[in-house]
Amino acid sequence: MHIRAMPTAAAVRITAVLALGAVIAAGTAACSTEKTAEPDAIGVVEKLPDDTDKAQSKKNAQEFRSWVEEHGTAQQKSAAGRVDRILGEWNDKTGNAYIATDINGGKKPAADPQGAATAIAKAFASWKDSDQGYASVYDVYGNAMLTNYKF
């Protein structure tokens, strides 16, 4: 004769809680409600934040490229042509700029992607002199190439 043990009420509750926890963990790993990138513990934003005003960010990039064309070095002029959009807010005292480029993509690959990112950040620093501002440069995929360059 075979006797089958019935699960206790506590065992059923524990199983239900574990199953619910697995469903919640799977659901949150697959999606997020965040709209913008958040800085990590040291203030680095690894992914380009969402562009909430594309017209303004394109206008910022055009003004930047025009300034660099008039005042920049040869390397800065070459690199500034890769700037597509400039997001963020800055003024004469503080701010953060997120610079979207076509580096690692675009029509012509950059011979020195890191050098181009650095030239863009340096040109931005010359364009927007600030007490506490930072510029970050992102490649065509929205990945950080250079972060928190002081301007």
Secondary structure element (H or E) that encloses residue 51, with its range: none
Q: What global pTM score does this model have?
A: 0.71
Using pLDDT thresholds of 50, 70 and 90, give the confidence band for residue 92: low
44 against 139, higher pLDDT: 139
d(CA 146, CA 116): 10
Residue 45 CA, distance from chain mean position: 5
Q: Determine the angle formed by the axes of helices 54-71 and 113-127, rounding to 10 degrees.
A: 90
d(CA 66, CA 4): 81
Q: What percent of the chain has pLDDT over 70?
A: 68
Residue 106: C-alpha distances to residues 85, 110, 142 (Å): 14, 9, 13
Average pLDDT of the segment spanning 10-30? 43
Whether the pLDDT of residue 78 is over 90: the answer is: yes
The two tokens of residue 43 are 């203030």
Using pLDDT thresholds of 50, 70 and 90, give the confidence band for residue 108: confident
Whether the pLDDT of residue 102 is over 50: the answer is: yes
d(CA 44, CA 20): 34
Least confidently predicted of 37-46, 64-73, 74-83, 136-145: 37-46
Q: What is the DSSP letter of 102?
A: -
Residue 34: C-alpha distances to residues 28, 37, 66 (Å): 12, 7, 34
Instruction: Quote the pLDDT of residue 111.
Output: 87
